[in-house]
């Protein structure tokens, strides 16, 4: 259920508020383009600047609009275990299929602290949990041995690996059961991670290219390695362009160029810099994306 290409959804804003119409339209476009799942309220969804009520509202809208067509995996992590548990319980109440829980950031827990954090939340809820390891943002790296221990907890079902370290991913895969889902958190490494035994991606790039990203993952998992490789190299320049500045700045700029959303972020994030705009625009045009309605 949680394999394939899933989009880390942006949260559209308009005049400081959640743009519900834009979010619903974006969700429909994603599903119509063949994406395998949707992930609201992660890093790309600017969860760190949403209030708890806004966070749950975005998840609720997503679950309602998806209407069971694909899985919804909602962000619910925090650097406070009690806050993470509260968010996870509220996410479960929306009807989301699973939650994505980032490692506690800033306070830099030990590996034992990470284990106890996730175990406490997992044993207090019924919803499946996907761990999220992104040390470049959090300041802590969850090691393969810790993931292996957590994989023994019944409702901890997978890991989004955004370390960019294929060696670490290999050791992780060696320590978890075959049904434990490993998803790439780095769009440029999806193909490589699947070659090690990974199961797909939670992608930023699929906000603008959902069909190609889902086709690449689908091709690889069905045994069409050559077809997947071609799509990997086609996607590569676009993936790079969408990380030229801090995510989700470039992808929101790209979606605005495509006429899909207003180019609005919440401070301390600001829109794409003038010097970066031409490169993102060129990457979209080179990929064949129509910018006729954008700005």
Q: Give the residue numbers annotated as catalytic, written as ranges.
A: 132, 160
Nearest to 121 by CA among 102, 148, 140: 102
Nearest to 74 by CA among 127, 123, 12: 127
What is the CA angle 217-3-99, rounded to 5? 130
Alpha-carbon span 203 to 149, nearest angstrom = 26
């Amino acid at each position: 259920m949680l394999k394939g290409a899933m989009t880390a959804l942006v949260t559209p804003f308009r005049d400081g508020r959640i743009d519900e119409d834009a979010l619903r339209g974006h969700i429909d476009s994603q599903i119509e383009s063949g994406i395998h799942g949707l992930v609201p309220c992660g890093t790309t969804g600017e969860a760190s600047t949403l209030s708890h009520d806004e966070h749950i509202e975005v998840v609720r809208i997503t679950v309602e609009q998806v209407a069971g067509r694909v899985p919804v995996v909602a962000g619910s992590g925090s650097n406070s275990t009690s806050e993470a548990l509260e968010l996870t319980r509220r996410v479960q109440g929306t009807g989301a299929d699973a939650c994505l829980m980032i490692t506690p950031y800033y306070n830099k827990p030990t590996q034992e602290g990470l284990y106890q954090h996730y175990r406490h939340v997992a044993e207090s809820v019924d919803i499946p949990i996907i761990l999220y390891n992104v040390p470049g943002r959090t300041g802590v790296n969850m090691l393969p041995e810790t993931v292996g221990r957590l994989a023994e907890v019944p409702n901890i079902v997978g890991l989004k690996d955004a370390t960019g370290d294929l060696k670490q991913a290999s050791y992780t895969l060696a320590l978890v059961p075959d049904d434990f889902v490993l998803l790439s958190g780095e769009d440029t490494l999806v193909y490589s991670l699947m070659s090690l035994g990974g199961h797909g991606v939670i992608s930023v790039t699929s906000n603008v290219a959902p069909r190609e990203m889902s086709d690449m993952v689908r091709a690889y998992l069905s045994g069409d390695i050559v077809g997947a490789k071609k799509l990997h190299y086609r996607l590569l320049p676009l993936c790079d362009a969408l990380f030229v500045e801090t995510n989700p700045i470039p992808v929101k700029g790209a979606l605005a160029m495509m006429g899909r959303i207003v180019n609005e972020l919440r401070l301390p994030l600001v829109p794409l810099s003038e010097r970066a705009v031409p490169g993102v625009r060129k990457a979209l045009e080179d990929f064949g994306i129509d910018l006729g309605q954008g700005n």
